[in-house]
Structure 1
Amino acid sequence: MSSLRVPHHDGSEAFAQPGARNLGDTVRLRVLVPDLADGSPGAEHVVLRSVRDGEPELTAATPGGRTEDATWWHVDLLLVNRTTRYRFFISGTDGSYHWLNAEGLHDRDLSDAGDFLVRAEDHPPAWVPDQVAYQIFPDRFAPSAAAAERETPGWAVRQEWSGPVRDNGKHVEDHWFAGDLDGIIERLDHIVELVRPCST
């Protein structure tokens, strides 16, 4: 006999369809609901409650295959938002009802905070893995000719460009070196040299 005593769902491949997930796709979800002690099915209805654009959406699940002492319920979740929260309402054949979310089984309605999550993924273009990218922090890259005349913001502690860079101490998070976007533009030739393929 199975050790399962309560309905179960998780993010593994057995319970959530694997593969890439994009906006507009549907993801097949499954819930395993154990039989009652007398051997009768444990659920009369299973309903997926998801949150779509901030509003609850209800979708009935259908019973599918069986194990020795439990029934699989299936339902498709449409990915409308980048992150979708969901949980299941389970109406028992014995008159009971429960909510199943990522925190477990509950006999009362819940906030969305403990719901399961599924995310639509961003897939970069095929050429991205072969590229080299540089992330530039303008303040520390280069000041433009006009930067010396720029007024120090009220939140900042101005630092000399040639002075040491400290990573700890008082007000270190407010250090400002006055690098700017114009400083990057003035040194685009240098950036081109960085990304040019090395000769062999």
Structure 2
Amino acid sequence: MDVPELLASVSLLVPEEAATDNDISVRDVWDYLAHDEWQIALSLLEELGGGRPMPLTFWEQLAGAAEELGLGRSAAWCHWRCSEIRNGMIRADLTLRPVTEARRRTPVPGHGVLRPMWDIGNPSPDGGASVSVAGLWVEDMPVLEPGGRATVRLVPLTPAHWTHVGTGRRITMHEDRTVAGTAVVLEVRPPATAMPRR
């Protein structure tokens, strides 16, 4: 499919009554598609998909359209949302340790390329702490500076390790043996094991 067909197909997956906080609806998307404003239509679809659970197909096709348009960050975001559906997602308030207290000297990239280890309370076979890996996406920021604080989205690489993690739990981020940051869990969404495809 070409970009207009992909975007039209994605638009059909959005419930007609869906609207953003700014009252943008799928009708607005269709108006932009009719005027060949594909990038704006894609952006509106991303926004509409953020407010409600959407099927995996929605994000897969939107990623394909973003790739065709050469929109790398949008494509990465759509692929990230696919991972959230498959593996689950944890939103957390993360505070990184400052440069004076941690090994990290550079900002954490915000677009899902970092996969740090997390102490989420699982014991290791010898009784010590065990860590589990999760990808990290920083919401509304391109990077998170050392000592900074932001809301992040985590996608577990092994979802079964994270089933006991609930809202309010404090978890620690590691890039090596030292603590790189601490986070408080704000929201937990389990994997969509049987998400219907349209």
- TM-score tier (shorter): under 0.3
> Normalising by the residue count of structure 2, what TM-score does the alignment of the two structures yield?
0.19
| Richer in helix (by share) | 2
- Give the structure with higher Rg (CA): 1
